[in-house]
Amino acid sequence: MRSKYIIIGGSAGSFQAITKILSELPKNYNIPIFLCLHRLKHVRTGFVEALSIKSKLPIIEPKDKEMIKNGRIYLAPANYHMYFELGNYFSLSTEESVNHSRPSIDLSFLSAAQVFKNNLIGIILSGANRDGALGMKEVKDYGGITIAQDPEECQVKTMTTAAIKATTIDHVFIVDEIINYMKNLQ
């Protein structure tokens, strides 16, 4: 079986969902997970530490051109877009903000879709803008699996409903179902 990759996008109201997901994943979870979460541009530190509290897996902000390794969780660093290259490594970018965001969920999802194609699972969580909707469409168009957090469960449902409108969503899940799905991928 080809190796899988999971990319998760989230904004306002996604922190709780993310920490719950991270706390439930076992220590030997092997699939690389990319987190693209809206965050303050000028605050570089603290986010990884906050996410790490409940995670059994190491969380890393990748450096430019860092190799992607299994069993790690990667968080898009503040004030950079996070891209993926053929050859299994990251590229960072300081291109213009998209949807007022850098990192942009759309750009990360688009890049991941082009590189990982049908080996990619795209997950969109709670958020207050439309970032990620087009990215989810790209994941779907390139043959990946799309999952949206159930808008009814989201603290702010703008982001998930935008994604649901933009493309075919394979699964609309509450967080517990997302966790089960992720665990069963191994």
Partner 1 sequence: MFEIVKNITFTEYKEIINIIKTTYNVDFVNYATASLKRRVERVYNLYNFKNVEEMLAKIKADEEFFDAFLKETSVPTTEMFRDPQMWIDLKEKVLSKISPRSEYKIWVPEITTDEELFTLLIVLYEMQILGLTKIYASTNIQQNIEKIKTGVLDIKKMETNSANYTRHNGDYQLSKYFDLEEKRAIFDQVLLSKVEFKFNNFFDINHIDSGFNLILFRNRMLYYNPNLQNKALDIVYNSLQLNGHLIIGINETMDGSVHQTKYSLISKTENIFKKIR
Give the interface with partner 1 as residue ranges (CB under 8 A): 41-42, 44, 61-66, 77, 79-81, 83-86, 91-96, 98-99, 102, 104, 106-107, 110-111, 114-115, 134, 137-138
CB of 141 to partner 1, least distance (A): 8
CA distance 87 to 44: 27
Q: CB-wise, 65 or 183, nearer to partner 1?
A: 65
Q: CB-wise, 24 or 61, nearer to partner 1?
A: 61
Q: Which of 14, 101, 111, 131 is catalytic?
A: 131
Q: CB-wise, 63 or 165, nearer to partner 1?
A: 63
- 135 phi and psi angles, rounded to 5 deg: -60, -40
CB of 24 to partner 1, least distance (A): 29
CB of 61 to partner 1, least distance (A): 8
Q: Is 131 among the catalytic positions?
A: yes
Per DSSP, the three-state class of 136 is helix
- 93 phi and psi angles, rounded to 5 deg: -150, 145
Q: Do strands 81-85 and 73-75 pair parallel, antiparallel, or not at all (unpaired)?
A: unpaired
Q: Is 11 among the catalytic positions?
A: yes
Structure tokens at 163: 């994604």
CB of 183 to partner 1, least distance (A): 30
Q: What is the DSSP letter of 22?
A: H
CA distance 169 to 148: 7
CA distance 42 to 59: 20
Q: CB-wise, 91 or 155, nearer to partner 1?
A: 91
The set of catalytic residues is 11, 38, 131
